[in-house]
Amino acid sequence: MVTYNLINRGFDIFDYVDDLFNRSTVDFIHAEYPYVQVYEGNNEIEIRAALPGISRENLKIEVKDELLTIEGEKQSDYTGNTYLRKERTFGKFKKSITLPYEVDAGKVNAELKDGLLTIKMPKSEHAMPKKIEIK
The class of domain 27-76+86-127 in CATH terms is mainly beta
CA distances from 46 to 25, 68, 123 (A): 33, 11, 11
Average pLDDT score, the chain: 82
Q: So what's the pLDDT on residue 19?
A: 59
Distance CA(28)–CA(26), nearest Å, equals 6
Using a cut of 0.75, tell me whether the model's pTM lies above it: no
Between these two residues, 16 and 123, which has the higher pLDDT value? 123
Question: What would the pLDDT profile of 96-107 be if each residue is shown by its tens digit?
Answer: 999 998 999 999
